[in-house]
Chain A
Amino acid sequence: MRASPLLQVLRAWTGRIQRPFLRAGDSLAAQRRLGLVLLGLLAALCFLGAPLGLLDDYQQLLFMYAGINVILCVSLNLVNGYMGEFSIGHAGFMAVGAYASSLLTVRALPEGGAWLGPVAVLAGGVAAAIAGLVIAVPSFRTRGDYLAIVTLAFTMIVKSGLENLEWVGGGRGLAGMRKLTTLPWVFAWTVLAVAAVRNIIYSRFGRAIQAIREDELAGLLSGVETRRVKLIAFTVSAFLAGTAGALYAHLVLFITPRGFDLLKSTDVLIMVYLGGIGSILGSVLGATIYTALLELLRPLGVWRMVCLPLLLVLLMIFRPQGILGLRELPWLVPRRDRDAVRRRGPRGSDEQGRSSVSDATGDST
């Protein structure tokens, strides 16, 4: 090891952040085993918990809320965290998914069998994706705050539109759904949603999405068709929010437009920033912790709505990056990426060391 002093300092410094990623080599197998075991236990609990009487109805409900929130959080993180845009329209997409799927199960296919559950969820996703596409096309022509305003307007339009559509129940809401959302289904959809976002993030699309966050122009000039990539990310995000809405509708069996107002969007935003932007594990944690906190603070009654925003303020002050901002659980990272990063030959030639020393002097400008 003949690293120049500067590089050593640099690596020691960056190493603190990168250590869990770079040194994951040996512990990775153990970590992977642990992760799979935990996931297996959770799956077992979700599938067998109710039949074996391990979870009562309330606990099942909490698990399902957590799962739905994880889907919402991961999908919003795709746009707000990985892509660096600011969407606050998740309640609107959820509403589209909830109403579309409910209309399907209540009005169109009231006789449907066991297959209706997944079909309803997919229908909710597709409806929301179409809505997402419709608002993304005009709003991504410009950059920055514009998307926030458009998605905010979208949420309001959806809410007041639903309130004024009598044939979907208007302000009184829509009921009559059957309880198609069960814990095993929520578990399955949550795993699928997390896997989908993870697979996108570690593909060329994920890298392009992150390039847009880092420097859109540089991305564009490196061959990324940024507008198309934005549409993909936004549509996928809306689709997943729609599936979450469908699951939600067939869990609570009664939806009103008021349930999908700006506060709902804010909830999801808090989960994303609590867990940390640009991190899938962060989103899973953020959504779970937030769901648990909401329940734990329930005894506080109205004061809950004081405590949670306060939590957000404290979070922004003391840990603005969230629990896991831009960091990831190593075993979510594809092996080829980890291997490439870990495979570092012996420290380079003389030329390497010299240029990094001189780089320090060039840094003064």
Chain B
Amino acid sequence: MSAPRREVASTPGRTVPAGDHAPQTAPAASHPLLETRGLTQRFGGLTAVADLNLRVQAGELVALIGPNGAGKTTVFNLITGVYKATAGEIRFDSVSIGGMEPSRIHGLGIARTFQNIRLFADLSVLDNVRIAHHARTGYGLADALLLTPRLRREERRVMEETLALLRTLGLDELAGEKARHLPYGQQRRLEIARALASRPRLLLLDEPAAGMNPHEIGDLMEFIARIRTEFGLTILLIEHQMKLVMGICERITVLDFGATIAEGTPEAVRADRRVLAAYLGEPDEGAVSGAAAGGGDGSTDDPGDPHGRRHDPTDAGSAS
């Protein structure tokens, strides 16, 4: 079992109270930031997630990959409280969050983006981000009705924080635009901005690179690396674009039919035979050809080899 070993290794780290100020350098905490135990979700006869044991240490960047329909987004929906798990447990910073209201889970420090962008389309960029401040804005309905000094103070604070965040992410000039009028890439970025507005500790990104070309994916990788250090984030992401997954993620968990079929470093996962089988058995290969190709590198006699022709050599470069 790996748990005791981790505990021993982290004992010195626990005596240093400043350890969690630089979480991305060493996961010193004895318990993971996010942990699922035997997480299971059934929809009728379909098991979307089966006995998932996921551990994400503070400061880590972990990818959740798998063929379409493997249950990845369901995992996000379980963590964020959209679904109540059929069985199993989810712990965030040692607090059991299974069955909690989504807004409360958000308040504990988990924010996410969506596979299909879900912005508040008819509201301004500014309001999209300010809505994420709702729960942390300290005034009540009476303050709102009477425009009390407290409301003015809080609104000013929220406005300053929001504009600063938009400036950091290069969206400040678009503050007054309606979200629906932004170009696609900026909409993705705005969704991340909205997620960051609540200063989350854990950020869940659901296919952040969907619909992006290789050049944009390169930008996105830099962007993710940047916000990770700037905001001291732990990131769990779902992605089909293997360039991104292999390029920036430290650990990868592979799901297929709701079950974990592999787990480990990018190198270990791309060489795993079950992963290859899972991807190559999938008729829809467009999105995952990168993975097949990546695996093809490891074992040239693999049936997935023909896909290697489509493999972009820069992928290997960024992966290593």
Q: Which residues of A contact B (CB under 8 A)?
A: 6-7, 10, 13-14, 17-18, 21-22, 196, 199-200, 203-208, 210-211, 213-215, 217-226, 232, 236, 278, 326, 334, 336-337, 340-342, 344-345, 347-349, 351-352, 355-356, 358-365
Contact = CB atoms under 8 A, between A and B. Distances in A.
Give the interface centre of B82, B106, B144, B146 by most chain A CB atoms within 10 Å: B144
B203 interface: no
B220 to A, nearest CB: 10
Nearest to B223: A355
Nearest to A357: B183
Contacts of B151: 203
Contact of A361 (B186, B213, B219): B213
Contacts of A208: 131, 134
- Majority-rule SS of A interface residues: helix
25 contacts: A14-B178, A14-B181, A200-B141, A200-B144, A203-B155, A207-B130, A207-B131, A207-B134, A211-B123, A215-B118, A217-B82, A221-B80, A221-B102, A222-B131, A223-B136, A225-B101, A225-B135, A226-B103, A326-B122, A337-B126, A337-B159, A352-B170, A352-B173, A356-B186, A359-B216
B159 A336 contact: yes
Contact of B170 (A226, A348, A363): A348
Contacts of A356: 183, 185-186
A236 B198 CA distance: 28
B9 interface: no
A218 B151 CA distance: 25
Contact of A340 (B175, B185, B216): B175
B121 interface: yes
Nearest to A21: B176
B134 A221 contact: no
Contacts, number: 177
B227 interface: no
A125 B210 CA distance: 50
A359 B183 contact: yes
Interface of B: 80-82, 101-103, 106-107, 111-112, 114, 118-124, 126-127, 130-137, 139, 141, 143-147, 151, 154-156, 158-159, 162-163, 170, 172-173, 175-178, 181, 183-186, 194-195, 197-198, 210-213, 215-216, 219
A79 to B, nearest CB: 16
Contact of A219 (B82, B131, B210): B131
A301 B88 CA distance: 69
Nearest to A235: B141
A348 B171 CA distance: 9
Nearest to A358: B216
Contact of A358 (B107, B137, B159, B213): B213
